[in-house]
Each structure stands twice: as structure tokens, then as C-alpha cells.
A and B are shown apart, each in its own frame.
Chain A
Amino acid sequence: MKRLIVLGALVALPLCAAVATADTVPDAVKFDNGAVAQSLTGVAGDPADGLKVATTRPMGNCIACHVAAGWAKFADPGDIGPALDGVGSKYTEAQLRGIVANAKMTFPDTLMPSFYKTSGFIRPGDGYTAKAPTGPIQPILTAQQVEDVVAFLMTFK
């Protein structure tokens, strides 16, 4: 099964030779009550990289919608979603991984985008070009970027 998944990843991402073949592909992520117990990469997340992903627009851009002490040095965080202070205590790592990967598995009506998902979209686009994608849909974040954000959020005690 695992070999099949890996093969799937290789077929789906023919141009991304650098992608670690051990990554769980989005459609194969197992959610349990919204939580994802297993690391998507097997490589520990880096909180410093997580900060960058969380505060950069073409990446996670968590700051667009959330206030958090973790990015207090950046101006004008958005306030669409809840403040994230304390989420590292409120949730387990598995719950946070599930929420970052696909928050709709935890909060069915949430507006939060699913950052590690490649199917089930209506009129998916190619980034912000307004055009349809020319190849397979890539998730908004890579598996390792999800792990980095989760590691960063786990520091929000």
C-alpha cells in the first residue's frame, strides 16, 4: 500500500524531483476526528520556518486572518478567525496537524482554507493567475511546510 502511495506521489509530481518520496500525499492523509496522528514527512517541523510560512502571503498566510502573539512583530494581523494564542496547549499536535492540513475535518463549516488538499475543489485555479491549472493541483503548502507550521503553533503555550 505504502509503495502504491509513493508511486502515486511520483506520478502526480513528476517535476518535483526534490520532494521526499516518504511524504504522505494529500488524498492519503488519515483523519481521526479531525486529527492526524502521523507526521506527513517523518521529519520534525522547524518552528522558525513555520513562522515564515505563517506570515507570508503566497504560503500559509495565517496572519491574514488570525491574531497571535507569535507574530506580534508584524503589522495588521487580520481578525476573521480566532486569536491563536494558547493553541499549543489547547490542542494536541495531531489535532493541530489535522486543522492545518484540512480544518474542515474538525470544524465542518469553517472558512479556513484546507492547506494540504488537492481534490474536491470547485473551479480550482493556477495560483492567482485566474486561469485553470495546467497540471495536477498542488496543495497550498508542502507536507514539510505543514509540519513546520504545526511545530510553530505548538510553541503557542
Chain B
Amino acid sequence: MMKLRKQATAMMALGLLALSVGGMARAADPDPGVDLVINGDTKLVTRVPAPANIPGLKEVYSGWLFHDPTTQAMETDDFSNPAMLAVDAGNAAWSTVMGTEGKSCASCHNGIDSMKGVRASMPKVNKAGKLWSLEDYINDCVTNRMGAKALGWNSNEMSGLTSAISMQSRGMPVDVATDGAAAPFWKEGEKLYYTRTGLLELSCASCHEMHFGDHVRDERLSQGQINGFPVYRLKTTNMVSIHNRFYGCVRDTRAESYKEGTDPLRELELYVASRGNGLSIEGVSVRP
């Protein structure tokens, strides 16, 4: 942390850090010249120009760029990435029969590599016109096709499957639809992103658009991008879903939060995902 701060101070001295004036978003790369390369061969995109429909940002950055070198290093080698345990569990679950129909995921979908690209387009409007997260699609199969009980949004079974499925899109750009059937959901998500909730009256934008790179005590704020999810969170030593992170953030504004698997968080997920359109899906990541 101290090292990062010294780096930030040095950057300021060099005038590389465009300091915000009057609440304008910052423009500086949080960790210039550093690339995320996994297992020595897979280079992931961690910085791209902001999508046209995100006027509050000039460039978007993976959360990976904001963290200390030790945390960063854990993600560059799958043997040292604790989230890979969830991937292993999910791969095993993929071909394990559950429910009354005698089926596993593999019974219909064959190898899990058939899921390539799925994570990169989530959340997505389904055939019935509802916005669904990856967890919803999984539970639809689990309950309607396999005859099993729905998996808990925060359960190990769910994070295993979301992790293993996400890995199939590692390196693919986030590419969620924001127009057409998705447009009204995206608009709602955008509204929530800028709503200042709770007794602290903070919105997502208050921290993650206006102050990324700055610190709340020793915690360095990122842009709150979700291309790295599911993440292994060092603070809580477990896998954390996108909705669970949103739930915790809203709670920390001293607000009545939104529960995982509810429409406001699906809409927020769509909007936040779209803020990172073009960043690489990291598969599974490690965050403080």
C-alpha cells in the first residue's frame, strides 16, 4: 500500500495524474505500463477507451490495476490463484448428476467449453423478455431441466459453476447488449448507479466514477468494474458474486440494501457490465 501511494505521489509530481476539479472524473491510468499476463502466456485487456454511452469516464480500467503487487501477482498464476479451487469444484459439478431427471449439465451441454462466450454477454434478456444473470440461467436448468432445487445465489455450488463457466470466456471482451430489449433495463441500472442511497448518501458513482484511484482509509477505490467476477476476496476469504458485492456496497452507505437475485441488482449488473465493455473477462480474479 505504501509503495502504491509513493508511486501515486511520484506520478502527481510528474503531472501525469490529472487531478479532478469540481467533481470531474479522473483520466489517469492507475498503473501505467503494467500488463496482466496469466500463466506467462495469456495477456488480458485491462484498459480500453470508455464506451460511448458512458460519458463519466474517458478510459475504463480493470480492478486488477488498482491493487498492490502481491494481490496482482496472485492472479497471474493459476496455481497461486485461490479462486481456481472454485473453478475445479465447478468443473466437477458440471458432469455430476443432480435432481430427479438423472441429468448433469454435461447431459445437455456436453463439455463445459460449450459455454465459451456466455459469461461475456451476461446479464442478458431471455426469450421471455426478462433480464437474467448467469445465476438465473443456471438455476433455470437446475430446476426445470434437472429437477433439482435451485442453488443459493451465494452458495459454493453456485460460485463453482459461475466460476467454471466464466473461465470459458477468459480473454474475451465484455460484450453486453445495452440497446434493443436490454435498453429499458440498462436505463434503470444507470439510474441506480447515480442514486445516492443511505444515511451516507453515496452512489456507486460517488466512489467509483469520481474517486477511483483515491483511498478510503487504506482501501484504494477502483472503478468498480465487474469483468473480473467471480472474485476471490482476500478480506472475506471466499468467492464473491457480482450481486453480493453490490449488496455489500449499498449496505455500506448505511442503506436498506438490495438482495442478491432481485431486479434492481440485475439492472445494475447490466449497467456496470456495460461500463466495462471491451475489458477482458478475467475468468476468476483475486481482489483485496
Contacts and interface: CB of A to CB of B under 8 A. Distances in A.
B106 interface: no
> In which size bucket is the chain A interface?
20 to 34
Interface stretch (A15-23, A40-48, A129-137, A142-150): A129-137
A65 B251 contact: no
A111 interface: yes
A8 interface: no
Contacts of B254: 124-125, 127-128, 140
A88 interface: no
A75 B217 CA distance: 8
Interface residues of B, number: 30
A109 interface: yes
B45 interface: no
Contact of A125 (B195, B210, B214, B251): B251
A65 B197 contact: no
What is the interface of chain B mostly: helix, strand, loop, or mixed? loop
Contacts of A124: 198-199, 254-256
B29 interface: no
Interface stretch (B131-139, B155-163, B200-208, B233-241): B200-208
Contacts of B216: 64-65, 78, 80
Nearest to A74: B217
Interface in A63-118: 63-65, 75-80, 109, 111, 113-114
Interface of A: 63-65, 75-80, 109, 111, 113-114, 121-133, 137, 140
8 contacts: A65-B216, A75-B218, A79-B215, A80-B215, A111-B210, A113-B199, A122-B196, A125-B251
Interface of B: 1, 22-23, 195-202, 206-207, 210-211, 214-218, 221, 247, 250-257
Given A121-B198, A121-B199, A122-B197, 13 more contacts: A63-B217, A65-B216, A76-B218, A80-B207, A111-B202, A113-B201, A122-B255, A123-B256, A124-B254, A128-B251, A128-B252, A129-B251, A140-B200
